[in-house]
Structure 1
Amino acid sequence: MSPSLIFNLHLVLGYVAWLLCTVAYIHPKLKEMNPVNAQRVIATLHSFRFFGLVFILPGVVGHNLPQGFAPFAAYGDFATGLLAILALLAVRFRIIFWPLVVGFNVVGAIDILVDYYHGVRLNLPAVSGDLGSTYAIVVIYVPLLMITHVISLSLMLRSRKTAGAIVRNAVAS
């Protein structure tokens, strides 16, 4: 099998495995939690995204890695991680917490989507061996991150609809 095929297979199977795990274990637990605690769990996972700076650490990735890929991936992860940490620090101040939760999810999801775009445009699968140890981040950790962004945003929409329904019922009675 070619490196491109192996890389793409790993990436797809990373999503499949995390989706199966998420549907069976993670999402049901998050839905049972109050909205703040569920978002704290997700923010805690994303607070480790500072580790994405490893993409620009000399000696970790190979010299043949396309130059347009690593800096955006590194700094996008770093920004997302900082926003997630700030959200965790601001949990007692809901007026600050919720915008930070939205922020780390939007920035993080855009980061991953743009990284995929750069990866395709720069033919990253063909040189995926040059990801070095960061290969595991891309095929194991990133699928979970993207899935939890989707869950976080859907939980926020659901809790907003629920809060709206409670307010409407209270006003009607």
Structure 2
Amino acid sequence: MPSPYPLIDHLPAVFAEDRFAQRFTAAFDDVLASLINPIDCIGAYVDPLLAPPGFVRWLAGWFGVLLDEQWPLRAQRAVVSEAVDLFRMRGTMAGLRRHLAVVVDGEVAITESGGTSVSTRPRPDPPTDVEHWVRVQVRPSHPGAVSEGALEAVIRAAKPVHVLHSLEVIA
């Protein structure tokens, strides 16, 4: 690719007419173009919807997001682009629903025990007399496209800590 900023344009006018100076600076332009062009496009590199596939995984590290290599690139891009919102809702049922909707291409059904627990003291242990659970059923659009281990990891990360869970993947 040609350099968007040829060096000859930045030299005094005396050198602009010199054939040797033009050829000499053109050699540097060829080398510098491979460095300047990516810097000019840095906005596309940090946008997870536009970045090259390897860069999407690198961007995931910026947000502390673990991506499963088996997920389609569309799902990886979606998780990274919505990482801030997903972390904001982490530990809630709404967050679990949203995270699974982003990752799974297909139907997701979630049933939960419901209810809440109240305590008069700060940071209490989860109640032992009430059982909280969530059941997740996933019916992917393309069978085999979803890793059960990856879904388990998503559920563990997105659900409230004290809530038990079960996962069923329906082909």
TM-score (norm 1): 0.30
More strand by share: 2
TM-score (norm 2): 0.30
**Which structure's relative contact order is higher, taking Cα pairs within 8 Å and 6+ residues apart?**
1
- Which protein shows a greater Rg? 2
